[in-house]
Amino acid sequence: MGGLDFSAINWEEMLDATVATLKMLAFSGIFTIILGLPLGIVLYLWGKSNNTIIRVVYSVLSFVVNILRSVPFIILMVALIPFSKSIMGTSIGVLGTIPALVIGAAPFFARLVETALREVDRGIIEAAQGMGASTGQIVMRVLLPEARPGLLAGVTITIVTLVSYTAMSGMIGGGGLGDLAIRYGYYRYEKEVMIISVALMVILVQLLQMAGDRLVRHFTRK
Amino acid sequence: MIELKDLTKVYGKGSKAATALSGLSLSIKKGEIFGVIGHSGAGKSTLIRCINLLERPSEGEVWVDGVELTALSQGQLQEQRRKIGMIFQHFNLLSSATVYDNIAFPLRLAGTSKTEIERKVQDLLALVGLEEHRNKYPAQLSGGQKQRVGIARALASDPDVLLCDEATSALDPQTTDSILRLLLDINRKFHLTIVLITHEMHVIQSICDRVAVIHGGGIVEQGDVAQVFLKPRHEVTKEFIRSETQADGPLRQAIDAVHAGYTKAVKITFLGQKTYESTLSHVAQGTGVNFAILQGTISTIKDVPYGQLIVRFEGPSEAVEATLSELAAEGLDVEVIS
């Protein structure tokens, strides 16, 4: 055992891993929003419909979303290896993990979107309907702007969750800081690398949360 | 302008069904301010929301400006709704948009050009007196200012009809009066038909031309405000008016206080110019009866002055009877109480 020796750390590798983590976050974050936002809007709209057919479709969709959310990410990740391989050409590295990250996070984000939209005052939606707004106009001009602080908070929570997902993806050779921590710290008992990688992730989460909070505050008008 | 035919609205199904409107019909003329008064739960909110189909009636027809709204497709209905403005008790402004953007909202929905929007919103801001607040958010405004934004927004699409859903119920008395004055101005300036619902007789009395009293999902009484207000027939109407004036107990005591000789207590109603004339003392001097004024009100209905006195006449029976018939001959409304 003995003391910690940070001089043995390969800083170049650490930098590469940090960049890889940021890349994974950026791509998976963007695709999660692209997929999760419309899904959340659809869940919100269908969830309050009176139409029997739409209610059935909503229940099915809601059920699928719940399943995806209840499967532990580590299992989802492994189960999705063939899927990732088929669409990205590989199941490892930065590219290989993105499908799993997105499929793990999008249903979670969709629920946060649905909840944020439900917080919008019914009266405002009615006022817009009274002014002759179509459903599309209500979504674009009422729901999304009014729910903006809630949506931004949801994005922040989702990206922070993605940080821990990227770390877990180290288990299946995902790359990035999590991969580094697992390979060096867990498999090779090089505690120093693990400590630095985890510390970097902590800093990353802090920065993301602070930036998110600031945006939420900036857009809150109540 | 607005025709509601046999509207029925039932919420829920089976044993949980609750009837909000039962076969209600109403006809509102172009350019008038029509008030609907009722207690909470009487169905007035459902009624006004049926006019622009925010609430779809279970049965019946809604006609606005010759178009049957209940027969339209969703797209056509959206088109028609642009001609019907609405303001709300809780204002329902976009909290994420400035005063300017809130007023511009219906114009943007309709795809109006930027320069046209700028011109219109500027005019509307001036109309409601909020020019210096154009870049504020609703949270920075008072209740009265928020309702002014609501009114400007409702007027932006040049509607023919303005629906007011308890528009002053969340405001203090002074602010209520200023909003009512604004509504009256708008009604006169643009010949806009205004339908308002309220539970306050004061609102009806201040600006309405005609009034309907709603109770248990149906109209129990309607007519010109002066007629309904001064000669209420239905118990509910009487209740609303009584809460505007004084209590009954002390008046009863005053009427019964004198037993000597021949007495008669009457309610005399003056309307219009007669309110200011000395008809009562004139007639009493002629017939030689004495009188005591037990209760009196003088006020206006919209712009028309009216007075209502409860007077006890004392004297020989023929003289008292003669007084009453002379007062009636002078054009006053005389109603014997006891």
Q: Quick one: tokens of B87? A: 């303001």
| CA A178/CA A94 separation, integer angstroms | 12
Determine the residue of chain A that is closest to B53 in CA distance: A130
Residues A27-58: tens digit of each pLDDT: 999 999 999 999 999 999 999 888 889 999 99
CB–CB of B94 and A126 under 8 A?
Answer: no
Residue B306 makes CB contacts below 8 A (sequence gap 6+) with: B226, B230, B269, B270, B271, B272, B275, B298, B299, B300
Q: pLDDT tens for residues B192-210?
A: 999 999 999 899 999 999 9
> Whose structure tokens read 């007062």?
B327
Domains of chain B, by residue range, sit at: 2-233, 249-336
Question: For an interface test with B, which of A52, A131, A216 has the most B Cβ atoms less than 10 Å from its Cβ?
Answer: A131
Residue given tokens 């180290």 in the structure block: A170
Is residue B108 scored above 90 in pLDDT?
Answer: yes
**Is the domain B249-336 a CATH 3.90.1280.10 member?**
no
Laid out side by side, the sheet with B333-336 consists of: B290-301, B304-314, B263-271, B333-336
d(CA A199, CA A185): 13
Q: Which percentage of chain A shows pLDDT scores above 90?
A: 61
In a domain, A64, yes or no: yes
For residue A3, tell me if it sits in a domain: no
Task: Identify the CATH number of the domain in which residue A115 sits.
Answer: 1.10.3720.10
On the question of a common fold for B2-233 and B249-336, the answer reads no
Q: Which amino acid makes up residue B195?
A: V
A52 occurs within a structural domain: yes
Q: What total of structural domains would you count in chain A?
A: 1
Does the pLDDT of residue B245 top 60, yes or no? no
What pLDDT does B260 receive? 67
User: Which portions of chain A are predicted below pLDDT 70?
Assistant: 1-2
Chain mean pLDDT for chain B: 90
- Whether residue A2 is contained in a domain is answered as no
Range of the domain at A124: 9-219
Choose the mutation target among B86, B103, B109 for the interface with A, i.e. most A CBs under 10 Å.
Answer: B109
- Taking CA atoms, B282 is separated from A15, A163, B277, B285, B287, in Å, by 105, 93, 9, 5, 9
Q: Which fold has domain B2-233?
A: Rossmann fold (3.40.50)
Q: How far apart are alpha carbons B197 and B39 in whole angstroms?
A: 10
The pLDDT assigned to B259 comes to 67
Q: Whole-prediction pTM value?
A: 0.85
Structural tokens at position A83: 């899927």
Is the CB of A130 less than 8 angstroms away from the CB of B82? no
Instruction: Determine whether the interchain pair A142/B54 forms a contact, defined as Cβ–Cβ distance below 8 Å.
Output: no
Q: Does A123 touch chain B (CB under 8 A)?
A: yes
CB under 8 Å to A186, separation ≥6 — which residues? A194
Task: Read off φ and ψ for residue B203, nearest 5 degrees.
Answer: -65, -45
